[in-house]
Amino acid sequence: MALTRVKGRNPRELRPVTIERHYLKYAEGSVLISMGDTRVICSATVEEKVPPFLRNSGRGWITAEYALLPRSTQERTVREATRGRISGRTQEIQRLIGRALRSVVDTAILGERTIWLDCDVLQADGGTRTAAITGSFVALADALAGLVAAGTIPRLPLQDFLAAVSVGLVNGELLLDLDFEEDSHASVDMNVVMTGSGQLVEIQGTAEKQPFSREEMAAMLDLAGEGIASLIAIQRQVLGPLADQVGTGHE
C-alpha cells in the first residue's frame, strides 16, 4: 500500500525549501535553511590557521561541527556537552559535512586558513545532514567572498556548486527528501551529495531493513540527482551575482 505524503507531496518532490542568508550578525557567513519543518543554522567562521598536518603546505582546510538543540527533536535530546562526549552519529555527520564541502574548494587558493562550518539544528524533521550540507554551501560562499572582498585571497575558491538530499525506499516506493516519519519506515536510506555538474561526491546507502538490488540503487541515484539540481537552482537564486563566480576560479 502506497504511503500518502504529508500535505499531498509527490513522491519525487522536495519539501518547501528556504535559505535565509546573513542570518547571524557576527559570522563571516550564515544561513537559516528550512526544508519543510527541518531547520538548520549554518554558519561559516574563518580562522587564520590550519591543523598541524597542513602547516607549511600552503593549503587550507574546511571542517564542520553539527549539533541538535535539545528540543529540535520530538523527545528532548540530552546535550552532548552534558554527557561529556560526542556521539558516534554526530561525529559521522560532521565528518561527512566537512568532507563534502572540502571537495569543491580549491584549498590552494584558500591558503593556510580554516573555515569552520557550524550546523546547529533548530528543528529535526528528517534530512538534517543533507540540509546542513546544502545550507553550509551558501554560508561558505559568503565567507569566502568576504576573503576575496578583503583582498585576502585572489578569487573565489569554489570549483562548483554542491548540495545533498536523501532518497529512500518506503513500502517499496521510491521517495525523495524523506521526513522523519518516512525515514523511520524506510527499508533503504540513501544520502547523496552531488556537484552542480552532476558528479557524485558522496553516496551512503544503507539497507535498514532488507538488502537492495543494483536496479533500485540506480533509480535512487536518478531521483537524488533531480532533487539536487532543484536545490542548486535555489542556491543560485539566493546567492545572486555571487553565484556567477562559482567554478570560475580554476587554476
Task: Report the binding-site residues.
Answer: 89, 127-129
CB burial string 5-34: b at 16+ within 10 A, e below = beeebeeebbbebebebebbeebbbbbbbb
Question: Quick one: which of 84, 151, 240, 241 contacts its own copies (CB under 8 A)?
Answer: 84
Residue 55 engages its own copies in binding (rule: CB under 8 A): no
Question: Quick one: which of 14, 17, 50, 94 contacts its own copies (CB under 8 A)?
Answer: 94
Give the count of beta carbons closer than 10 Å to the beta carbon of residue 147: 22
Grid cell in block for residue 124: 529535526
Residue 189 beta carbon to its own copies: minimum distance, rounded to whole angstroms: 11
Q: How far apart (Å, rounded) are the C-alpha atoms in residues 31 and 43?
A: 6
Stretch near its own copies under the rule CB under 8 A, chosen from 7-15, 65-73, 168-176, 240-248: 65-73
DSSP string, 102-136: HTTB-HHHH-S-EEEEEEEEEE-SS-HHHHHHHHH
Q: Give residues 149-208 in contact with its own copies (rule: CB under 8 A).
A: 160, 194-195, 197, 199-207
Residue 46 beta carbon to its own copies: minimum distance, rounded to whole angstroms: 9
Q: Report the chain's terminal Cα–Cα distance, integer Å.
A: 53
Query: Binding residues for its own copies, per CB under 8 A?
Result: 24-27, 30, 37, 41, 43, 45, 47, 65, 67, 69-74, 76, 79-82, 84-89, 91-92, 94-95, 99, 103, 116, 118, 120, 122-123, 125, 160, 194-195, 197, 199-207, 210-214, 217-218, 221
